Amino acid sequence: MIGALMLDIAGTELTQEDIELLQAPQVGGMILFARNIESPQQVRALTDQMRQVRPDILIAVDQEGGRVQRLRQGFTLLPAMGRLGEHYLENPQQAIELAEQCGWLMATEVLAVGIDFSFAPVLDLNDVSDVIGDRGFAKNMQDIVPLADAFMRGMKKAGMATTGKHFPGHGSVKADSHVAAAIDSRSYQEIYDKDMQSFIKLMPQLDALMPAHVIYDQVDPNPAGFSPFWLQTILRQELKFDGVLFSDDLSMQAACVAGGADARIQAALSAGCDMGLVCNDRDAACTALDGIQKLALPNQQRLERMRGKIPNIQIGTTLTLDDENWHNVRKVIEEFKNSF
């Protein structure tokens, strides 16, 4: 059974405390960060060990491309998605092909080391937000949709579920929700017409969504990830979204409006999230775990859709796959990166 808490570990292998936490029924996921990564071989050994302890665990990572990719040493470094958006203005068809290849390559390498899925792609506008910036494909929905659709098509071809973030849109908010309260004072109609459209149009391709730690104060007083209005009224009822809802990291500064870690995860789950992330703070993770001990386990059928098609292969210290397509796509992506 898959629990409702996703947490992290400090190092490159499991400690006894990590093992005990992994065995807790309400722990359902593990997210890896750069500090957990030494080589592809080490990552695969770590994820295999996690599954020996907890066979049903879901393992995730942020591997978007550009400045947000945790798997670096021994892996292919992907361009920022904003570079694809720039190329789209010059050569739309080639940019779409590159986006699909990036999605496939990212997913293939992540799955090879035993990780189920990456929290990708970013569907926010590349607008005023510094924390989003070129993590977003483009400045408008018309350019985002074909590129993100192709990227997710590549992910699915490799056997990976997709996660769109950060609903209903973080790109129009200047503040960085990692370190500050982020408030968007536009009307619902403005948000719907501008930021939400990429999420709505791509919903058939989305297996999961991550709501933004942003307060849209003309719509609801709570950050979107703590808001029954955004998660249940809008996403579940109006937009009929039946995928997984992951909270963004509940240790981020913008989430602190809900109180302690136990209050935050309770708020996220009661609002409609299926799984809450508590990262980079072990004490907070333990507090959150204590806070949900008596809650029912989340929707298992929904969460099972996030399980990746992980190959049964041996991985070396540098990732080299016995796959001609992998070699060819890597070469194409490297040539594209070298062109700017």
Do residues 31 and 7 make contact, with C-beta atoms less than 8 angstroms apart?
yes
Residue 201 in marked binding region: no
- Tell me the H-state helices in 170-321: 188-194, 196-202, 228, 261-271, 282-291, 300-304
Question: In angstroms, rounded to a whole number, what is the distance separating the alpha carbons of residues 126 and 139?
Answer: 5
- Tell me the H-state helices in the chain: 16-22, 40-53, 81-90, 92-112, 141-158, 188-194, 196-202, 228, 261-271, 282-291, 300-304, 324-337
* Sign of the CA dihedral running 47, 52, 53, 58: positive
Residue 67 in marked binding region: no
Question: In angstroms, rounded to a whole number, what is the distance separating the alpha carbons of residues 78 and 64?
Answer: 8
Active site (annotated) includes residue 248: yes
Residue 62 in marked binding region: yes
Residue 170 in marked binding region: no
Angle of CA points 130, 135, 140, to nearest 5°: 85
Active site (annotated) includes residue 116: no
Question: In angstroms, rounded to a whole number, what is the distance separating the alpha carbons of residues 146 and 213?
Answer: 26
Do residues 267 and 230 make contact, with C-beta atoms less than 8 angstroms apart?
no
Residue 165 in marked binding region: yes
Q: Which of 127, 149, 248, 249 is catalytic?
A: 248
CA dihedral defined by 285, 264, 214, 174, rounded to 10 degrees? -50
* CB half-sphere exposure, 157, CA atoms < 13 A: 16
Q: Which of 176, 178, 220, 290 is catalytic?
A: 178
Do residues 235 and 209 make contact, with C-beta atoms less than 8 angstroms apart?
yes
Which residues does the annotation place in the binding site?
Answer: 62, 70, 135, 165-166
Which residues does the annotation place in the binding site for substrate?
Answer: 62, 70, 135, 165-166
Q: Which residues are catalytic?
A: 178, 248
